[in-house]
A and B are shown apart, each in its own frame.
Chain A
Amino acid sequence: DSGVTQTPKHLITATGQRVTLRCSPRSGDLSVYWYQQSLDQGLQFLIQYYNGEERAKGNILERFSAQQFPDLHSELNLSSLELGDSALYFCASSVASGGAFYEQYFGPGTRLTVT
């Protein structure tokens, strides 16, 4: 158990809909990272927050947005969903900003299926 929690575990929705994925980082961690992993693909970095502020942006679509709240939990919002958005979405946290230096602790993921 990494200490990072993600809800929901599974999500099935229709094209055009909007969903929100939630992540609670490990106690004491200030950074949160979001990744997308499509079937048999590598991890695609989406976005990183540190103590409520956006720190780095990866290949995140304009239809996707995220935020980190004062209690440090984070939400990833996906709108106008398309079939190609079906994937595993992982959240990770680290003690400080810098995911290539500080150990990232990954949550169990949210499996999103768009039908």
Chain B
Amino acid sequence: LAKTTQPISMDSYEGQEVNITCSHNNIATNDYITWYQQFPSQGPRFIIQGYKTKVTNEVASLFIPADRKSSTLSLPRVSLSDTAVYYCLVGDGFQKLVFGTGTRLLVSP
């Protein structure tokens, strides 16, 4: 079962690019990497998922190096509404789900 490590918190300003890295040294061959966003008192929301290299959608990019032992969620030009907790989830879908403690991102004006 892949264990993930993320920074506890990060601070940024509006308009900046934010990169949040997740370490998953014992990732297995069949594991995918998924990121979720959670606002206070709300359920998490899917952001992006990838297996290797780079994935981009309308809200974020996910960079995964060749060894897949880490991944970086990139949020371009953050706004105040991006203040939330971001979770990295690693697995192949057939294991117990471990979300970890997440990264609390605070965006200031």
> Given known contacts A43-B87, A45-B99, A100-B32, is B93 in contact with A109 (CB within 8 Å)?
no
Structural contact, B101 and A88, CB atoms closer than 8 A: no
The residue of chain A having its C-beta at the shortest distance from the C-beta of B85 within the complex is A42
| A45 / chain B contacts, CB cutoff of 8 Å | 96-99
Structural contact, B93 and A43, CB atoms closer than 8 A: no
Size range of the chain A interface in the assembly: 20 to 34
A-B residue pairs, 8 tightest by C-beta: A98-B93, A100-B91, A106-B43, A101-B93, A43-B99, A45-B97, A42-B101, A103-B46
Does more than half of chain A's interface fall in helix, strand or loop, or is it mixed?
Answer: loop
Structural contact, B102 and A42, CB atoms closer than 8 A: yes
| A41 / chain B contacts, CB cutoff of 8 Å | 101
The docked-state distance in angstroms from the alpha carbon of A88 to that of B44 is: 12
Structural contact, B95 and A100, CB atoms closer than 8 A: yes
Distance between A43 CB and nearest chain B CB, rounded to angstroms: 4
Structural contact, A42 and B43, CB atoms closer than 8 A: no
A18 at the interface (CB under 8 A from B): no
| A33 / chain B contacts, CB cutoff of 8 Å | 97
The docked-state distance in angstroms from the alpha carbon of A42 to that of B92 is: 20
Structural contact, A104 and B87, CB atoms closer than 8 A: no
Distance between A31 CB and nearest chain B CB, rounded to angstroms: 10
Structural contact, B99 and A98, CB atoms closer than 8 A: no
Structural contact, B91 and A2, CB atoms closer than 8 A: no
